[in-house]
Structure 1
Amino acid sequence: MAAAHYWQQIRREWKNVIPAFLLPSIGSVLVFYVPPLIVAKILVRFAENSAPELGQFIPYVILFVILWGLGEILWRAGLNFLIKAEVNGMRRLFNQAMDYLLVKDLAFFHDNFAGSLTKRVVSYSWKYTDLMDTLIFNVFTSYLPIIFVVFVLWQFSPWLVVGLLGLMLLSGLVVAPLVRRRQKMVAIRETASTAAAGNIADIFSNIDTVKAFANEQHEQKNHRHKIEDLAVKAKRSWDYQNLRIDVTLSPFFVLTNAVGLILALYVASHSRISLEVVFVTFNYYAGATRTMWEFNHVYRNIEWALTEAAQFTELLLEQPKVKDPARPKPFRAGKGEIRMQAVNFRYQEDGGEHLFKDFNLKIKPGEKVALVGHSGGGKTTITRLLLRFMDIESGEILIDDQNIAKVRQKDLRDSIAYVPQEPAMFHRSLSDNIRYGRLDATDKEIERVAQDAYATEFIDQLPDGYDTLVGERGVKLSGGQRQRIAIARAMVKNAPILILDEATSALDSESEKFIQAALWKLMKDRTVIVIAHRLSTIQRMDRIVVLEEGRIVEEGSHKELLKQDGIYATLWAHQSGGFLEE
C-alpha cells in the first residue's frame, strides 16, 4: 500500500522524475564506464610504441576531460530535478497524512500513542525521499549503465555478456529468498521502534506526573526494557544481513571477477586488441561486482523505506467509527433546541450492557440544564454523543429538528461551543489559543472576549501580552488562567449551544470569582448543558437532571429536588467545599 502511495507521487512528478532518473544514469556512464575505454586506448598505444610522443595522447586527455565534465554536469542537473520531485512529493505526503488522520474519530487517537503517530507520519513522508534517493543513486545509475556495458562487451565477444549477465542473475536468484526472510525481521524491528518512540512521547507528555511521584527510575527502567527489545530485534535483522546475506554473496563477488578475468584472457588470446579487451572487461566485471553488492543494500534500503511507510499506511485500513453521511443535509443553526429520542448506546469496546436504553431528553432553546449524578451515570457520554464523538446504536439526536447523524460533523460542531474540564492549550500564543474558537476573529474581538472572560487580569501583566507562548498543553498557565482562556475561546465562537464540563477542583478564591463571573456571561442567551460540580452553578440552573446508570432518575429545579429527598438531596447533603461529591 505504501508503494502505491509513493508510485502515485512519482507519476505526478513525471516531468521532474524522468530527467532525474536519466541524466545521472547517462552521467554515470560518462564518468565510470567511458574512461576505461579511453585509458585502454592509451595503453594500447603504449604497447604498440615503446617510446610514444606525449602529443599523440592529448586528444585522448581532452576527450577524457570533456566527457567526465559533461558527466558531472548531467549529474548535477539530474540532482536539481530530483530535489524538485522529492520536495513536491514530500509536501503532498505530509499534507495527505494529516488529512487521513484528522478524519479519524477520537477513539482512534485514544488507542494510539501521540508519539507513535508522529513517528509514523514523519516516516511516511520522509521515507519517500529516501526511496527516491535509492532509486536514483543506486538503482538507475547502477543498472541502466549495464546496457552500455553489454553493448561494449558484445563488440569484444558475446561470451563476455553471457558470463556477466548469467552471474548477476544467479546471485539474484540465490539472494532473493534470503531478502524476503529479512523483510519480515525488518517489519518486526519497525514495530518495536514505533513502540519505543510512543513510550518516549508518553513519558514526556506526562513528565509532571513522573516528577510528582518521583518515578524517574521506574520510567528509565521501562524505557530501557523497550529499547532492549528494539535492540534485540534490530540486531537480529542486522546479523541476518551481515552473516547470512553478505556471506552468501561474497563468493559470487570473487567468482564474478575470476570468471571475468578468465573470459577476458580467453577472448584476448584470440584477438588483435588483447590488452584493451583485458583491461576493459576486468573493469566492467569489477563494476558489476559493485552492482551485485549494492543490489543487496539497495533492496534493504527500499525495503526499509517501504516497511517504515507501511507503519503509517496500515492505519488507513482502520475505518473511522464516526463518518459523515454520503449525502449530508445542510445544517441550519437555530435557537438550540436539543432532543434525544429513544437513544440506545453502549461502548463498543465493552459489548455488554447498554448505558442508555430508550433514553429520552429534551432541552428547550435557551434552557440551562445541569447534569449531575454519580460517576459512570452517563453525564459525559451525553455531551460526547451531542458532539458526535461517538455514534448511537439506534434512536435519534436532534438539534433544531435536524438529525445530527445526517449532517457533516464540522457543521454540527460549528454550532456548539465546548469548554472541557481540563482545557487543552496549543503551544502557541494566547491570542492563537483564543482565536481557535473562530479562526477569522479579529484582534479586537479577541481582546473583547478576553476582557469578558476576565483573562485580561493576567494577560496585561505578561511582558508579551497576547503574544505570550503558553507552553505544551498550556503548562505555563495556572489552572484558573487556562479555564479563562477556554471560556474566552468559547465566547469568540458565539455558538447557540454551550457544553461545559466544570472543573472538579477548587481554585483560589480570586480565580473562582473571575471564572464564575465569566461563565455566566458565556451562558447568556444560549442553550447550556453543564456537567455540574460547583454548587453555585447548580443552584442557578433552570433544570437539574440527575442521572444514575444511564437513566434519568430525577429532574427539576434545585428547590424541587431537595424537597423530593432523593439522590440529589443525598448528593447535596454530602457536598464538600462548594462541590458535589460523585
Structure 2
Amino acid sequence: MTSALEAPPRVGPVGPATTSNQRAAALRLALRLYAGELGRTKVRSGAALVLPALGNICVSYLPPLLVGQLVGLLAAGEPGTAALITPYVLGFLAAMLAGEALWRAGIHFLNRTEADGISRLHTRGMEALLAKDAAFFHENFAGSLTKRVLSFAQQYENFVDALMFRVVGQLLPLGFASVVLWRYDPLLVVVLLGMIAATAVLVTPLIRRRQALVDAREAAWARLSGHVADTMANMDAVRTHAAEPREAAEHLRRLTELRRLTLRAWDYHNLRIDTLVAPLSVATAVAGLLLALGAARGDGGPGVEAVVVTVAYFGQATQILFQFNQTYRQLERSLTEAAQFTELLLTGPTVLDPPSPQPLAAGPRDVRLDGVRFAYPGHTTPLFDGLDLTVADGERVGLVGHSGGGKTTITRLLLRMMDVGGGRILVGGQDIAALSQADLRSLIAYVPQDPVMFHRTLRENIAFGRPGAGAAEIREAAAAAHVLEFVDGLPEGFDTLVGERGVKLSGGQRQRVAIARAILRDAPILLLDEATSALDSESEAHIQRAVWTLMAGRTSIVVAHRLSTVAGMDRLVVLDRGAVVEEGPHAALLARGGRYAQLWNRQSGGFLA
C-alpha cells in the first residue's frame, strides 16, 4: 500500500505535547485523505455532489422565479385566465418533479461513494496501525486507538454529507440566484456577496477560537475513553484493590474537564449565531431599499417580479448563512475527529524495514549478538554496551540472572520489537536489520511470560501462528502441550471462546495454549520467556517434556528465573546489568562456584530469592 497513510510528514511526537502546527498538519492530512477517497471515483463522486445541488435549484429557486413572473404579469394588468396560469403551474410541477429525480439520483451515487470510502478508510486505518511498532502501542490506550481508527472511517460519511448538502448543495444554487438577480440589478448581487463576505469576516475569528476549544475537547474525550477502556480491561485489579471509588473519582475528574470544554465550545457556537444577525439584517434592508428606489424611478427598473424573486432568494441566502454554523460545525467535527487518528500518523515507526530487504538465505539458524549497544528511551545509561553473545545452530541456551539484567530485552531485540543503538544481531549470518520484519519473525516461535490470547476460539488461538493448519495438526500440537487435559471441560471444546485476553482460562492454561501455538508454528528458532512460570509442578513436568521435544534440532533461547527449568540446557548464560558474567553448562558452573552457583544456592522453591 502506497498512500499518505504510509509516509506522513514527520513533524515530531504526538500526544499531550502536540503543537498547533502538528494539529494543523493532522487536519490537512485528514482532509487530503478524505479528498483522495472522493477523487478515486471522480464521475460518481461528482454526480453525488452536483445532482442534489441541481435538484435544490429546481425545488427552491425555480419556483420563486416562476411565481415572480406570474405575479409580475398579473400586476401589469394581464387577465388571470387559465391559459396564462396553466404554463406556470405546469412549470412549477415540472421543476418539483425534476428536483426530486435529481435528488434521488444524487443520493444513489452518494450511498455508494460513502460506503466504498468508509470500507477503504477502515482498511487503510487498520493497516496503518498494524504497521506501528511495539513502542507505539505501549504509549497509547487500546480503547483510545479503537475509537480513533473507527471515527477516522465513520466521519468520512459526515464529511461528504456536509460537502454535498451544505456546501456544493448550497453554493451552486447561490450562483444561479446571482445570475438571476444580476438581470434585475447588479447592485443586488453586490449586496448579496457583501452580506456573505461580512459574515465571513465577523465569524472567522470566532471559528478559530472555537477550533482550539474543539481540539481540547476531543483530546479530553480521548483521555476519558482511554481511562474507561483501561479500567474495564483491568477490572480484576480494581476489584482486588478495592479501588472502585478511586477509579470513579478519576472518571468524574476527567468528565468534569470534558464538560467544561464542551460548554465553552457551545458558548462560542451560540456567539457566532448572534454575530450573524447584524450583517443579514443590514443586507436585507439595503436590498429592499434598492428595489424601492428602482420602482420609484418608474423607468422600467425592478418591478413586482424582482421584488418577489429577490425576497425569496435573500431569504434562501439568509437561511444558508444561519446554517453556516451548523455546516462548519459538521465539517469541523468530522475533520477534527479524523485528525485525532491522523495525528498518530505524523510520526512513523522507529523500527522500519529496509528499502530493499534481503531474501532469507538457506542454511543454519545460529544467532549472534555482535557488539550490541542499547539504551531504553529516557535512560542515559545503556543497558548493553558492546554485548557479545553467540548461540550456535541447534544449540539450547538458557538466559538466567536477576531481573533487570537484560534477558527479556535480548528476546525483544532479536524479534525487532525495538532496534539496537549500535552493533549488530545476526541470524544465519544475516543482519536482522537487513531483513523484512515479517521474514525475520517467520523464523521464530515466541512464548512470552504473559501469553497473548485473542477473544476467539481456542482453535483459532492455537492456529494463530499457522492459520492454514488442519484440525489434526491443531489437536496434535494441543496434545503435546497438554491442552487436551482441559479441553473436554470447556463448553464447546476447541470452539470455545476464551474471552478477552483469555480471561476464561487460568494462567497455566494460557501458557499451555501459547506453547501449543509455538509447537504448531514449527519455526527453526525458539524463544521462551518464562514460558512455564504459571504452571503447577505436575503440569510443568509434562510441559517440560514437550518443550524439550520442541527444542530438538532448533536454536533455542530460554529465559528463566526458575533455574531448575534450564539446568539441562546445553549452555547457561548468566547476565547481570547487561553484561555476560558467566556461561557454561549447569554442572560446570556449579563446580566453578561463581555467580551462577550463588544463584542456585539462594533459590527457594525453584525461584530466585
Report the TM-score when normalising by structure 1: 0.95
Secondary structure of the corresponding residue to residue 383 of structure 1: helix
Match of 2:365 among 318, 336, 347: 336
Counterpart of 2:287? 260
Secondary structure of the corresponding residue to residue 329 of structure 1: coil
Report the TM-score when normalising by structure 2: 0.91
2:462 is the counterpart of 1:434: yes
2:49 is the counterpart of 1:21: yes
Counterpart of 1:444? 472
Match of 1:248 among 254, 257, 275: 275
2:471 is the counterpart of 1:471: no
- RMSD after superposition: 2.0
Structure 1 unaligned regions, length at least 5 = none
Counterpart of 2:174? 146
2:326 is the counterpart of 1:297: yes
Match of 2:341 among 308, 312, 332: 312
Distance in 1 of aligned mates of 2:599 and 2:400: 9
Partner amino acid, structure 1, of 2:247: E
Distance in 2 of aligned mates of 1:444 and 1:61: 77
Does the 8 Å CA contact 1:339/1:397 hold for their aligned counterparts? yes
Match of 1:136 among 157, 160, 164: 164
Secondary structure of the corresponding residue to residue 569 of structure 2: coil
Distance in 1 of aligned mates of 2:584 and 2:142: 42
Match of 1:188 among 216, 227, 243: 216
Deviation at 1:510, TM superposition (A): 4.5
Residues 352-363 of structure 1 aligned to structure 2 (within 5 Å): 352-363=380-391
Partner amino acid, structure 1, of 2:373: N
Residues 100-249 of structure 1 aligned to structure 2 (within 5 Å): 100-243=128-271, 245-249=272-276
2:433 is the counterpart of 1:393: no
Counterpart of 2:374? 345
Distance in 1 of aligned mates of 2:370 and 2:535: 38
Does the 8 Å CA contact 2:526/2:554 hold for their aligned counterparts? yes
Deviation at 1:319, TM superposition (A): 2.5
Partner amino acid, structure 1, of 2:148: R
Structure 2 unaligned regions, length at least 5 = 1-28
Task: Report Cα offsets for 1:407-463 as digits up to 9, x if no partner.
Answer: 111101100000010111111111211111112222222222112212122223333
Deviation at 1:182, TM superposition (A): 2.0
Task: Report Cα offsets for 1:357-412 as digits up to 9, x if no partner.
Answer: 22111111111111110110010111111111111122221111111111111101
Task: Report Cα offsets for 1:272-295 as digits up to 9, x if no partner.
Answer: 873322221111101110111122
2:384 is the counterpart of 1:327: no
- Determine what percentage of the aligned residue pairs are the same residue: 49
Distance in 2 of aligned mates of 1:542 and 1:509: 23
Secondary structure of the corresponding residue to residue 144 of structure 1: helix
2:90 is the counterpart of 1:62: yes
Match of 1:367 among 355, 380, 395: 395
Task: Report Cα offsets for 1:11-64 as digits up to 9, x if no partner.
Answer: 112121110111000000011111112333444465567994567534333322
Task: Report Cα offsets for 1:65-106 as digits up to 9, x if no partner.
Answer: 221121111111111111222122222222222222222211
Distance in 2 of aligned mates of 1:311 and 1:74: 36
Greater mean deviation of Cα atoms: 568-577 or 405-414: 568-577
Greater mean deviation of Cα atoms: 381-390 or 118-127: 118-127
Does the 8 Å CA contact 2:401/2:561 hold for their aligned counterparts? no
Distance in 2 of aligned mates of 1:18 and 1:57: 37
Distance in 2 of aligned mates of 1:114 and 1:108: 11
Counterpart of 2:313? 284
Secondary structure of the corresponding residue to residue 362 of structure 1: strand
Deviation at 1:509, TM superposition (A): 4.4
Secondary structure of the corresponding residue to residue 466 of structure 2: coil
Secondary structure of the corresponding residue to residue 364 of structure 2: coil
Distance in 2 of aligned mates of 1:304 and 1:427: 32
Partner amino acid, structure 2, of 1:32: S
Counterpart of 2:32? 4
Q: Summarize the Cα distance change of 1:411–1:383 in structure 2 as closer, same or farther, 3 Å threshold.
A: same
Does the 8 Å CA contact 1:397/1:403 hold for their aligned counterparts? yes
Counterpart of 2:18? none
Distance in 2 of aligned mates of 1:211 and 1:342: 47
Distance in 1 of aligned mates of 2:566 and 2:395: 13
Match of 2:525 among 470, 476, 497: 497
Distance in 2 of aligned mates of 1:293 and 1:248: 10
Distance in 1 of aligned mates of 2:211 and 2:362: 54
Distance in 2 of aligned mates of 1:447 and 1:332: 32
Distance in 2 of aligned mates of 1:94 and 1:428: 21
Q: Summarize the Cα distance change of 1:471–1:506 in structure 2 as closer, same or farther, 3 Å threshold.
A: closer
Does the 8 Å CA contact 2:366/2:392 hold for their aligned counterparts? yes
Distance in 1 of aligned mates of 2:60 and 2:246: 56
Residues 502-513 of structure 1 aligned to structure 2 (within 5 Å): 502-503=530-531, 505-513=533-541
Distance in 2 of aligned mates of 1:156 and 1:202: 65
Does the 8 Å CA contact 1:372/1:546 hold for their aligned counterparts? yes
Task: Report Cα offsets for 1:133-166 as digits up to 9, x if no partner.
Answer: 1110000111110121112112222222222122
Does the 8 Å CA contact 1:46/1:52 hold for their aligned counterparts? yes
